[in-house]
Structure 1
Amino acid sequence: MYRYEPRDEKSSLEQMMSKFISATETRFQNQDASIKGLENQIGERLLLQLDQLEEFRNLAYDLALSYKEKTKKAHDKRIIEREFKEGENVLLYNSRLGLFPGKLKSRWSSPFVISKVYPSGAVELQDGKDETFTVNAQRLKHYMSGTIEPQLGITRFQDYPN
């Protein structure tokens, strides 16, 4: 009744192996394609983030530069241009008294005479003992000697009739 026909085992094994290999290859090819697609997406995202980071750095640099320009302009506005000539009397600012000020102590030292003015902004001073020393001109201010005579002015008020 039933007749057993032997199959060619070698060919069926080869067929099974080839089917398995082809299925595995297609699976790996699909995974490889999806991995390449993810790599492209990640690469594009990283490039976008790098561009955004560079834009942020440029913006921060521009804002810092504008802040520096504004503060320099405000600082330069407060600087008083002073020109000193030889033979003038000047007062010297004592910066050490700025740290520990006395209540009524003046921070300006007694008048000195200018003996030489350098183009770099340095000034050579001479004190009463004929000793000379060099200081920055920004620490000096002109000394106005002499007495100030008060001017008396009489103001008269008139009564206006109501």
Structure 2
Amino acid sequence: MNLSKAQKDRIMQWNALDELRKMVVQHKEIIQHQHAKWHDKYIKERKFKSGDWALLYDSRYKDTMGKLHTRWLGPYEIVEVFQNGAVRLETIDPVRFKLLVNGHRLRLYHKPATKEDFLQQFDNQVQTIAPTASTRGLLGPEC
């Protein structure tokens, strides 16, 4: 095979271009891996269970600025949690309405305590922090 100098130069340029493409692909893969690692570092893993209550983020108000606007709807009861992060919710109203949402749009809602439970918990806390004989002198003569 008798090749001229121009043809040899052209083959060398193609080889150099191929090596450059391989380097660019490797660099792109490294950058993508770094971006994915950085992104995953800031994702919170949320664990919901059936029976929990949750608030649903209302994305219609994401652009409105104001301290009196609520961005959360609910509370809703969690019926089912799927492997892909989706959650089936149900309203707690007498008329049950089910909806399926992404788990990242939810925030855990702590059920309010009944009045009796609250008073019992309050009494238990007061009994545990009642002044003892050793702390009476530290608090002053009026205790």
TM-score by length of 1: 0.61
Query: Is residue 79 of structure 1 aligned with residue 43 of structure 2?
Result: yes
Distance 1:87 1:112 in 2: 10
Query: Is residue 139 of structure 1 aligned with residue 112 of structure 2?
Result: no
Give, in angstroms, the shift of residue 79 of structure 1. 0.8
Q: Which amino acid aligns with 2:53?
A: N
* Aligned position for 2:64: 101
* Aligned position for 2:132: none
Give, in angstroms, the shift of residue 114 of structure 1. 0.6
**Bigger radius of gyration:** 1
* Aligned position for 2:128: none
Give, in angstroms, the shift of residue 63 of structure 1. 1.1
Q: Which amino acid aligns with 1:131?
A: F
Give, in angstroms, the shift of residue 130 of structure 1. 1.4
State percent identity of aligned pairs.
30
- Stretch deviating more after TM superposition (78-87 or 136-145): 136-145
- Alignment equivalent of 2:87, drawn from 115, 123, 139: 123
Deviations 1:104-159 (A, max 9, x none): 22322221111122233221111124111111112112113448x9xxxxxx9xxx
Distance 1:53 1:119 in 2: 45
Query: Is residue 60 of structure 1 aligned with residue 24 of structure 2?
Result: yes
Give, in angstroms, the shift of residue 90 of structure 1. 0.7
Distance 1:72 1:54 in 2: 27
Distance 1:71 1:108 in 2: 30
Distance 1:78 1:141 in 2: 16
Q: Which amino acid aligns with 1:103?
A: G
- Stretch deviating more after TM superposition (76-85 or 109-118): 109-118
Structure number with greater CO (CA < 8 Å, separation at least 6) is 2
Q: Which amino acid aligns with 1:83?
A: K
Distance 2:82 2:42 in 1: 23
